[in-house]
Chain A
């Protein structure tokens, strides 16, 4: 492995994306949405929310937005260069496919991370100036977790990019992947919950939570391991905010022991590296 080659490709990728305005566009999007979420995100109060409140408003937005942006950056990374023809020149150089893929991943990963860091960071500073007490530690944790989730979807995008032979097919699969994790997944989990807990069909929606006793089905927790978006939001909910509630009426809200920050972090790392390894394997096998 030649680090000089990886560095050169990373540098080129960053320069290329700075010049095509990706960094600026993403930074503006992240800053604007964070400020909007903070200022107008709460229906309970008017004016600026503190950073913890902003995170609560932002979390859904981040789940949907960063995942799709990372997939868009990733799906064309390899197949885009193959289709344009520049991969032929790149692969004729004294380098390996692993170095090329790693260099491109680091380059696009840096673009995504810098955009999130500057976008959210800038908004955080503006919110901090308008709100009395702020917990920058929690906010920084949120930014770091958002970057990690972005990198996961970037690696998924990379693997899609190495598997498909046409850019258009890769784009279609990338969009479907996003729809699956962001939208369809909720229906799958709901269906599984109802299938494994038939009593829920007999619930009276007019009942108050105090009038019935129930536990959250475990499948809701275990499903977090199988969707990086769920793992991300669980990681945030475990670490951001100060709620001590473990019960809502007679509903037991306490998560099982295995739903903890370390396991969620490990889960997200497994997502990241498994798709990156898939991308390495496919890229090394494919004909250009």
Chain B
């Protein structure tokens, strides 16, 4: 759901509207009643898959710790060029899966391929394709930010000239020569992101990238992720900030108690769960004719009318029909609000 403020061309009043990217919305200015429409632009760039290939392929992954199955037969694939959200409650097996992809944890069974390279056969070549931001970022406290980056650049065989620019890009230009021991958590997190981007790896695995960041830092990281995708990178993102995931991810997978319970785009998951949008309308008058007109619209699940306010749960394509029906019945909409089921609702349903 995207919010936008539109200035009325007649009375110059600001009108707040909400809809999903790509959706057309009818607008009525509450001040002068001027009517119009607005089509929200597609904010998500099209996924450019390279010959439809997969950057990460996990097949039948299982891992137990002292008899406890942390990950159980998990399989998914991440398309080249997409942002893939990996969600789950605490202790669901997210970090175990991520660590298995990086071979930090030795899985009990299953195969993992990075750009077609089996990590159990050639981990070194596989890791050449990966930039990783761990959940708990840590550097060497006695070294400066630049010295730390130089070390990682040397290990990744990346040009050292990149280091300073990446540090500056993450808003740490003033502290390049400051020791990491004196950094705040947010600063370490930003440097962790810079380290992950070092050498322009085609795949970025980001575990809670916004953790410990202030809102400005979180926005910076989010913008950087979008920019990386535009430049062709594949992003594997694990985050508890579901609004962030909903905004930037093309597809998501949900893991619960070690089992993968869902994987698809957010809108498809909504449809699978039959979660419907909610439409709230405020009219300047309410008549029986309007009530009948609304009741006659197909695709409505639930109607609640309190004085001049109408709450409707309906199919996505029924929203515009309701508005047209009200207007045809002589109703005058002075306020309109639509809310789609959030990823949070999807998440809650899948992890019950």
A164 to chain B, nearest CB (A): 16
* Shortest 10 CB-CB contacts between residues of A and residues of B: A85-B138, A92-B132, A19-B142, A85-B136, A88-B134, A288-B104, A86-B138, A8-B154, A287-B105, A93-B155
Contact assessment for A88 and B142 in the assembled complex, using a CB-CB cutoff below 8 Å: no
A12 at the interface (CB under 8 A from B): yes
Interface bits B291-324 vs A (CB < 8 Å: 1, else 0): 0000000000000000000000000000000000
- Beta-carbon contacts under 8 Å, A20-68 to B: 20
Interface bits A1-22 vs B (CB < 8 Å: 1, else 0): 0101100110110011101100
Contact assessment for B130 and A8 in the assembled complex, using a CB-CB cutoff below 8 Å: no
In the complex, how many residues of chain B place their beta carbon closer than 8 angstroms to a beta carbon of chain A? 33
B139 at the interface (CB under 8 A from A): yes
Write out the residue numbers on chain A whose beta carbons fall within 8 Å of the beta carbon of B106: 285, 287
B352 to chain A, nearest CB (A): 30
Q: What's the Cα separation between A96 and B132 when bound, in Å? A: 16
B133 to chain A, nearest CB (A): 8
B128 at the interface (CB under 8 A from A): yes
A84 at the interface (CB under 8 A from B): yes
Please choose the segment from B119-127, B164-172, B227-235, B257-265 that sits at the chain A interface, where 4 or more of its residues have CB less than 8 A away: B119-127
Write out the residue numbers on chain A whose beta carbons fall within 8 Å of the beta carbon of B151: 8, 11-12
Contact assessment for A92 and B138 in the assembled complex, using a CB-CB cutoff below 8 Å: no
A282 to chain B, nearest CB (A): 13
Write out the residue numbers on chain A whose beta carbons fall within 8 Å of the beta carbon of B99: 88, 287-288
B236 to chain A, nearest CB (A): 12
The chain B residue sitting closest to A92, CB to CB, is B132
Q: What's the Cα separation between A285 and B105 when bound, in Å? A: 9
- Beta-carbon contacts under 8 Å, B60-99 to A: 65, 99
Write out the residue numbers on chain B whose beta carbons fall within 8 Å of the beta carbon of A95: 124, 127, 155
Write out the residue numbers on chain B whose beta carbons fall within 8 Å of the beta carbon of A92: 102, 104, 127, 130, 132, 134, 205
The chain A residue sitting closest to B153, CB to CB, is A8
Q: List 10 A-B contacts (CB under 8 A).
A: A11-B151, A16-B142, A19-B179, A86-B138, A88-B102, A89-B138, A92-B205, A95-B155, A96-B123, A288-B99
Contact assessment for A16 and B140 in the assembled complex, using a CB-CB cutoff below 8 Å: yes
The chain A residue sitting closest to B131, CB to CB, is A92
B213 at the interface (CB under 8 A from A): no
Write out the residue numbers on chain A whose beta carbons fall within 8 Å of the beta carbon of B183: none
Identify 4 new A-B residue pairs, CB closer than 8 A, beyond the known A4-B154, A8-B155, A288-B105.
A9-B155, A16-B140, A89-B137, A94-B155
Contact assessment for A5 and B139 in the assembled complex, using a CB-CB cutoff below 8 Å: no
Write out the residue numbers on chain B whose beta carbons fall within 8 Å of the beta carbon of A20: 142
Listed in ascending order, the chain A residues whose CB lies under 8 Å from chain B are: 2, 4-5, 8-9, 11-12, 15-17, 19-20, 84-86, 88-96, 285, 287-288
Contact assessment for A93 and B104 in the assembled complex, using a CB-CB cutoff below 8 Å: no
The chain B residue sitting closest to A5, CB to CB, is B155
Contact assessment for A19 and B143 in the assembled complex, using a CB-CB cutoff below 8 Å: yes
B94 to chain A, nearest CB (A): 14
Interface bits B144-185 vs A (CB < 8 Å: 1, else 0): 000100011011110000000000000000000001000000
Contact assessment for B124 and A94 in the assembled complex, using a CB-CB cutoff below 8 Å: yes
Write out the residue numbers on chain A whose beta carbons fall within 8 Å of the beta carbon of B130: 92
The chain B residue sitting closest to A103, CB to CB, is B155
Write out the residue numbers on chain B whose beta carbons fall within 8 Å of the beta carbon of A2: 124
Write out the residue numbers on chain A whose beta carbons fall within 8 Å of the beta carbon of B134: 85, 88-89, 92
Q: What's the Cα separation between A287 and B66 when bound, in Å? A: 12
The chain A residue sitting closest to B188, CB to CB, is A85
**A84 and B156 contact, Cβ closer than 8 Å, known pairs A92-B104, A288-B104:** no
Write out the residue numbers on chain B whose beta carbons fall within 8 Å of the beta carbon of A96: 123-124
Write out the residue numbers on chain B whose beta carbons fall within 8 Å of the beta carbon of A15: 142-143, 147
Contact assessment for B105 and A86 in the assembled complex, using a CB-CB cutoff below 8 Å: no
B178 to chain A, nearest CB (A): 13
Q: What's the Cα separation between A82 and B128 when bound, in Å? A: 22
Q: What's the Cα separation between A92 and B138 when bound, in Å? A: 13
Q: What's the Cα separation between A169 and B272 when bound, in Å? A: 50
Contact assessment for A89 and B152 in the assembled complex, using a CB-CB cutoff below 8 Å: yes
B25 at the interface (CB under 8 A from A): no
Contact assessment for A85 and B155 in the assembled complex, using a CB-CB cutoff below 8 Å: no
Contact assessment for A94 and B104 in the assembled complex, using a CB-CB cutoff below 8 Å: no
**A93 and B138 contact, Cβ closer than 8 Å, known pairs A15-B143, A15-B147:** no
Write out the residue numbers on chain A whose beta carbons fall within 8 Å of the beta carbon of B123: 96
Write out the residue numbers on chain B whose beta carbons fall within 8 Å of the beta carbon of A94: 124-125, 127-128, 155-157
Contact assessment for B102 and A91 in the assembled complex, using a CB-CB cutoff below 8 Å: yes
Contact assessment for A88 and B136 in the assembled complex, using a CB-CB cutoff below 8 Å: yes
The chain B residue sitting closest to A20, CB to CB, is B142
Write out the residue numbers on chain B whose beta carbons fall within 8 Å of the beta carbon of A17: 142
A99 to chain B, nearest CB (A): 9
Partner of A93, one of B127, B136, B140, B205: B127
B277 to chain A, nearest CB (A): 41
Name, among B151, B152, B195, the residue most crowded by chain A CB atoms within 10 Å (CB to CB): B151
Write out the residue numbers on chain B whose beta carbons fall within 8 Å of the beta carbon of A85: 134, 136-138
Contact assessment for A88 and B104 in the assembled complex, using a CB-CB cutoff below 8 Å: yes
Write out the residue numbers on chain B whose beta carbons fall within 8 Å of the beta carbon of A93: 127, 152, 155-156
Q: What's the Cα separation between A20 and B143 when bound, in Å? A: 9
A232 to chain B, nearest CB (A): 31
The chain A residue sitting closest to B198, CB to CB, is A93
Q: What's the Cα separation between A288 and B128 when bound, in Å? A: 20
B140 to chain A, nearest CB (A): 5
Write out the residue numbers on chain A whose beta carbons fall within 8 Å of the beta carbon of B105: 287-288
Q: What's the Cα separation between A20 and B180 when bound, in Å? A: 13
Contact assessment for B140 and A12 in the assembled complex, using a CB-CB cutoff below 8 Å: yes
Write out the residue numbers on chain B whose beta carbons fall within 8 Å of the beta carbon of A88: 99, 102, 104, 132, 134, 136, 138
